[in-house]
Amino acid sequence: MDNTKDKLPKHIAIIMDGNGTWAKKRGLSRNLGHRKGVQTLINTIKYCQQIGIEYLTVFAFSTENWSRPKEEVDYLMKLPEQFLETYRKTMCDNGVRFRVIGRKDNLKADLLKKIKELEIETEENNNIHFTLAFDYGGKDEIVNAAKKIAIDVKENKIKLEDLDENLFYHYLYTKDLPMVDLLIRTSNQIRISNFMLWQIAYSELYFTDTLWPDFRRRDLDKAIDEYQKRNRRFGGL
């Protein structure tokens, strides 16, 4: 891996897949797989910060995940709160800028309060920008942006003829983030699963057989190595 700044992807996004499969292979509950996945996430944030990745966004819970068994959904709803309580000080002390993207209407008031508090507490941090996509869906994000644009046009806040890709992007959840350079998906699933559909338009895609709880520094190094070998043309020659 070339650690030269201009050779590293600026923004890495990860679909953290395989917690349930990892647990099943060991005769454990899916919830224990999710717990192990949280530790992998913390290690990944630290390593990204160490090697100079500026932005890391991870897919933690999708708008479609509500259809999973109630016991698993209930546990997944508790994970962000546990994550914030356990690693809040670590993120604050190590310059991690934290934010959450996705719908907020289905989340409990206590969790929303803790999310907002940490977002405010870390808003001046810039060692690494860590974004948690929770109750997030790419299509839902785009529809939500279109609705906001329609309202602003109706209220004469913007003119329809001024709408272009750059203006549209400012209505997305990720308006303060750069486009994704490298998208990684674990657990040998070769699909995007409605994640950051606009933001990955010209991302390099990397799929690995490694289950998320087993994802280590060497696995991220392999993904970055592959990224550095590719010729990004953005539709040109």
Per annotation, catalytic residue among 17, 135, 181, 219? 17
- Inter-CA distances, 29 with 16, 23, 215, Å: 17, 6, 19
Closest by CA position to 98, among listed 1, 177, 16, 207: 177
Three-state SS string across 81-122, please? HHHHHHHHHHHHHCCEEEEEECCCCCCCHHHHHHHHHHHHHC
Instruction: Give me the catalytic one of 2, 31, 65, 74.
Output: 65
Nearest to 98 by CA among 125, 60, 75: 125
Active site residue 152: no
Residue type, 212: W
**DSSP 8-state code for residue 35:** H
Q: Which two tokens stand for residue 73?
A: 């959904």
65 is catalytic: yes
Structure-block tokens of residue 171: 């209505």
CB environment 200-233: b (16+ within 10 A), e (fewer): beebbebbbebbbbbbeeebbebbbebbeeeeee
> At 150, is the secondary structure helix, strand, or coil?
helix
Query: Which residues are annotated as catalytic?
Result: 17, 65
